[in-house]
Structure 1
Amino acid sequence: MNLRAIANGAITSVNPNLPAVLKLNDGYTTDATGKRKSGYSEHPVTVQTQTLSTQDLSLFEGLAQQGTLLYVYVTGQFRGLRRQDAKGADKLVFAAYGETETTEWLVKQVVESWPDWCKVLLWRQH
């Protein structure tokens, strides 16, 4: 039974899903000058965005990071920063509600991970 699909079916009448592009970090290459450049493979996905609760916002407030934080539910699996694999964090590109331009969001943390879906914390730097 896919509980995520059941819940998403009920939620989308109030909070519709958004099309997005998942940019999976494939590691990096080093050019002749020694500068590293991250490589990404792109995959279309559908995301369900949710704002953070007041309690969650106060928890992250102490991190001293400026920008916007957002939870996203998505079918499939995401990864955060993986130093041991020499890979950076994954990214999502989409137009948030009320915006016409797409923006890039960094996956800061995988909050919940299940076999069919996950919940991640995204950060958009201003």
Structure 2
Amino acid sequence: AFALSGYPAGAVMQASAGNKLRFISFSDGMLDKALAKNRAYKSVEIPADVYGTAEPGTVIGVNNMLIAPNSLSADVVEKIVASVFDHLDEFQAENANAKQIDPAASLSLAIPLHAGAARYFEK
């Protein structure tokens, strides 16, 4: 299956109820070929304990992004970015998917940062 979701994904958790799951590995070179097709894709390793598999799995993933128009004030965008990243520990305590947020990933997105987000990361 190919679905964009943070993990653990509810649908996969449901599939694992009463079923033994395993990750299917990519053929040699195929992951690199897929990643080369689109800069937005990245390789993600899902730990074995997430779905109770015998081995971790390597999957194709994407970074989630909050998209803002260039017309939105840089000051407002900087405040939004600061609200998320300056309180990431609180966000992660409340949301399992937030534990996967890596602020450094914001610096290697497939689209340019808004001026306000760039200003936040330059500090």
What TM-score results when the alignment is normalised by the length of structure 2?
Answer: 0.24
**Higher Cα radius of gyration:** 2
Q: Which has the higher strand share?
A: 1
What TM-score results when the alignment is normalised by the length of structure 1?
Answer: 0.24
Q: Which has the higher helix share?
A: 2
